[in-house]
Structure 1
Amino acid sequence: MFGGLTGLTNPKGTDWGEQILNTVVTQTIRHLFTKSESVEVFVRCHPSSKLLQGSIDSFTMKGRGLVIRRDFAAEEIFIETDAVAIDFSSVLSGKLRLRQPTQAIAQVVLTEDGINQAFKAELVTKRLLNQSLPALTVFSGGKPVSFNDVQVELLPENRLRILAKADLNNGELVPMSMTVAVGIERRRRISFTNPEIDLEQVPEAQRELSQNLSLALVEILDNMVDLDRFDLDGVKMRLNRLETEGKRLIFSGYAEIERIPRSG
C-alpha cells in the first residue's frame, strides 16, 4: 500500500496554487508531530482552477518516523482524504482552514520498540501505578499495587506476549508472563482478551499470586487504550482492522476531520 507512494513529488505542470497548497499542507501536518523523519503530501485538484474556489479532489499524506505527544512513535502513517473544501485565503497566509468537515482513510504502523517506549510514557505509567482494584488489594494487605517493567512482544495472529512485575508496596515484587489477544471494540478501543498465563519462570510460592495479578493487569490494559483519549483537537479516529505482522502492529481505519488541529 505504501510502496507506490514512495518519493511523491509534485508532477510536471503543477501550477503555483497547487505548489503553495502542497507546501502549506506539508508544514501544517509537520507541526502536528513532536518529531518527523519525513512527511510527503500530494494534492489532487483537476482542473487546478478549482483551488480558487477552495475545492480539492483529495490529498494524500505519507509520514515516516513520527512521534506524537513526545512519547508515542509511529513508524508510518498514511492518510487519504475525500474531497476537501478549504478557505483558499488562509492558504495564501500560510495556514490551512477547512470550510466543512471531511473524512479520510488512514493506516498507522507501530513497531514493537515503539510500543515498548510508549509503556514508559507518563500518560501510560500513571494508569499502571498505585492501582486499588479490590482484586488487587486482597493480595497486598489493602495497599495499592503498581505494575512496572512492562515489556511487549508482538506475536502472529494478533497476539502479544506481556512481561511485567507487580510491586505490592510491601517489598515483594511478583513476576508475570502471559500472552493475550488484541482486537478492536466499538471501533475506538483496543481490547486485551483471552489471557494465557505462563507460570513456568515464576517461583512456586508466587504462582497463585502471579496468576491473579496477571488477570488484573489484563483488565487494566483492556480499559486503558481508548482512541478518544488520544484524539487530536478537531480529529476523531476510528478503527476497522488491526493485525500483527512480524515486529509491526498495523491499524487501518478512518478519520473524521472537523478542523485542522494546531498541534499534536
Structure 2
Amino acid sequence: MLGGLTGFTNPGGGDWGERMLNTVASQSIRHLFTKSESVEVSVRCSPSSKLLQGSIDSFKMSGRGLVIRRDFPVEEMSFETDAVSLDFSSILKGKITLKQPTQAIALVTLSEEGINQAFKAELVRKRLQNLSIDSLNDLTGGESVSFTEVQLQLENGNRIRLFAKAELPERGTVPISMTMTLGVERRRRITFKDPQFHPDGVPEELRETSQTLAKALAEVLDNMVDLDRFDLDGVTMRINRLETQGKKLLFSGYAQIEHFPGVG
C-alpha cells in the first residue's frame, strides 16, 4: 500500500493521495454539522510526494444547506487555508490530525429565513425569557419580562427591521416594532445598535410602553450574539466584516482550526 503511495497516481491519471485526503476530509467536515446538503473539499499538493511528509499547499472547503447544533441553519460556508502540516499516518487510518493549528479565510452566508429559524431555537429562547431588567422596573414592578415571536427582516445598509412581542405581568402582551443596525465588535460579537422605534402596528395606547420595551430588547440582543457560543468542534470563527445583501447576511473573516473532529 505504501509503495503505491509514492507516485500518488492510478492508471486513470488521478492523484490517489489527494483523492484519499479529500475523502477523509469530507467525512470529517460533514461531522461538524447536524445536517449538510453538500460539502465539497479540495486539497492542493504539488508535487504529490509532499503529502508523505504531511505537507499540503492549501485546503479548501465549501458547504451548502448546513445546520449547526440542530437549530442554526447556514446557507453557505467556505474556508481556505494556506499551507498545512498534517500527520500523514493519521490519513491512512481515516482521520486528519494537524501537526499545528492553522488559519483559514472564511465566508459565511445566512438567509433571513434561517436567522428567524435560529430565533426559535431553545438556546436563544431561553435568553429572551424571564428577564429581570432594571430599566423596566417602573413598568414591571420588578417582575420578569419575556420577549417572544421574534422576527426580523434584512434591509440595505446592514439595517434590520425587527418585530416581537413582550409578555408583561398584569399587562399582557405588547407588540414591538423597530429597526436597528448590525455591526461587529471584537471580531466575535454581533452588535445591534441605533434602535429606532416604529409605531406601525402598535395600538396607540401601548406605544409608549412598546417604545420602552423596544429599547430594552435592543440592549438584550446587543449582548446576546457571541460567536464563541456557537463554535464548531475544533474551529473558532472570527468576523472582519458583515453585510446585508437582499435577504441574505454575509460574513467574512477567518477560522482558527485547532483540530479536525473525529469521524463517527
Instruction: Give TM-score, length-normalised by structure 2.
Output: 0.93
User: Does the 8 Å contact 1:87/1:99 carry over to 2?
Assistant: yes
Matches of 2:154 and 2:233, distance apart in 1: 30
Choose 232-241 or 250-259, whichever is displaced more.
232-241
Offset of residue 141 of structure 1 = 2.1
* One-letter amino acid matched to 1:243: E
Matches of 1:41 and 1:13, distance apart in 2: 19
Alignment partner of 1:174 is 2:192: no
Alignment partner of 1:34 is 2:19: no
1:46 matched residue in structure 2 = 46
User: Does the 8 Å contact 1:232/1:261 carry over to 2?
Assistant: no
- Deviation per CA, 1:114-153: give whole Å up to 9, x if none: 0000000011100000010111232122210000000010
Identity across the alignment (%): 65
Runs of 4+ in structure 1 off by over 3 angstroms are none
User: Does the 8 Å contact 2:31/2:261 carry over to 1?
Assistant: no
1:158 matched residue in structure 2 = 158
Alignment partner of 1:88 is 2:88: yes
User: Does the 8 Å contact 1:107/1:253 carry over to 2?
Assistant: yes
Offset of residue 86 of structure 1 = 0.7
Matches of 2:35 and 2:170, distance apart in 1: 40
* One-letter amino acid matched to 1:51: L
Once superposed, what is the RMSD of the aligned Cα atoms? 1.2
* One-letter amino acid matched to 2:99: R
Offset of residue 200 of structure 1 = 2.9
Matches of 1:117 and 1:137, distance apart in 2: 31
Matches of 2:167 and 2:74, distance apart in 1: 30
Matches of 2:136 and 2:240, distance apart in 1: 34
Mapping of residues 152-231 of structure 1, within 5 Å? 152-170=152-170, 172-231=172-231
- Deviation per CA, 1:160-212: give whole Å up to 9, x if none: 00000000133510000000000111111100001110013211221111001
Matches of 1:124 and 1:245, distance apart in 2: 24
2:107 matched residue in structure 1 = 107
User: Does the 8 Å contact 1:106/1:255 carry over to 2?
Assistant: yes
User: Does the 8 Å contact 1:161/1:179 carry over to 2?
Assistant: yes
Matches of 1:106 and 1:262, distance apart in 2: 21
Instruction: Give TM-score, length-normalised by structure 1.
Output: 0.93
Alignment partner of 1:119 is 2:119: yes
Matches of 1:93 and 1:189, distance apart in 2: 38
Change (3 A) 1:261 1:138: farther
2:4 matched residue in structure 1 = none
- Deviation per CA, 1:28-65: give whole Å up to 9, x if none: 00111000000011100000100000001111111000
- Deviation per CA, 1:211-246: give whole Å up to 9, x if none: 010000000000001111111233221111100000
When Rg is computed on C-alpha atoms for both structures, the one with the higher figure is: 2
User: Does the 8 Å contact 1:34/1:67 carry over to 2?
Assistant: yes
User: Does the 8 Å contact 1:63/1:76 carry over to 2?
Assistant: yes
Count of residues in correspondence between the two structures: 252
Structure 2, unpaired ranges of 5+: 1-11
